[in-house]
């Protein structure tokens, strides 16, 4: 998608853009359902809970860093987990989040054996569920814990 500031791209984190990514934040209200800062996510990425490789990307609109995305990937099983996704509060509602997920889907489509991209959100955060449904994700009917429905995009 091309917009006023240029196309959305997913770029590696580097020493040059790290500070800008650490400074991105969601709204105070969104912190209730999305409490992890990008600093927290980047630290977690270095000490993952399992062996699956973690993939981090800065989301750019033109030359402006606007968000952050993190996946955990099991390419041998064709399974990809969208673990973190955020667009800074100043840049939300401009289509950047949707385009970032579409770019992720396109990237996975090019892998050898894509099967599923999986994500989840808190039950109370129906807005995020709607966002993912618009992108083609469906509820699996399963929950993580008691309050986190799982959503799946099948390839």
> DSSP states of 85-125 as a string?
EEE-GGGTTSSHHHHHHHHHHHHHHTSSS--EEEEE--TT-
The residue (of 10 and 86) whose beta carbon lies closer to ligand COA is 86
- Least Cβ distance, residue 69 to ligand COA (angstroms): 9
- Least Cβ distance, residue 84 to ligand COA (angstroms): 6
- Least Cβ distance, residue 146 to ligand COA (angstroms): 18
- Least Cβ distance, residue 8 to ligand COA (angstroms): 9
Task: Give the integer Cα–Cα distance in Å for 134 and 128.
Answer: 10
The residue (of 87 and 104) whose beta carbon lies closer to ligand COA is 87
Q: Considering only CA atoms, which of 140, 141, 121 is closest in space to residue 131?
A: 121
Which residue shows structure tokens 């992890």?
Answer: 36
The residue (of 113 and 127) whose beta carbon lies closer to ligand COA is 127
- Least Cβ distance, residue 155 to ligand COA (angstroms): 19
The residue (of 13 and 91) whose beta carbon lies closer to ligand COA is 91
Residues 6+ apart with CB under 8 A from 87: 26, 59, 66, 67, 96, 97, 100
Residues 6+ apart with CB under 8 A from 53: 72, 73
The residue (of 38 and 52) whose beta carbon lies closer to ligand COA is 38
Residue, CB closest to ligand COA: 97
Site residues, ligand COA (CB under 6 A): 26, 30, 33-34, 85-87, 92-98, 119, 121, 127-128, 130-131, 134
Output DSSP code: residue 51. S
């Amino acid at each position: 998608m091309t917009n006023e500031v240029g196309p959305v791209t997913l770029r590696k984190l580097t020493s040059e853009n790290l500070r800008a990514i650490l400074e991105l934040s969601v709204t105070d209200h969104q912190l209730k359902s999305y409490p992890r800062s990008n600093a927290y996510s980047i630290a977690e990425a270095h000490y993952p809970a399992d062996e699956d490789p973690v993939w981090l990307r800065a989301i750019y609109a033109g030359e402006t860093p606007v968000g952050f995305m993190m996946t955990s990937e099991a390419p041998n099983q064709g399974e990809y987990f969208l673990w973190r996704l955020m667009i800074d509060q100043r840049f939300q509602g401009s289509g950047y989040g949707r385009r970032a997920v579409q770019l992720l889907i396109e990237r996975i489509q090019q892998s050898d054996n894509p099967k599923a991209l999986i994500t989840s959100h808190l039950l109370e955060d129906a807005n995020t569920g709607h966002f993912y449904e618009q992108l083609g994700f469906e509820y699996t009917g399963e929950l993580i814990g008691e309050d986190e429905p799982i959503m799946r995009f099948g390839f």
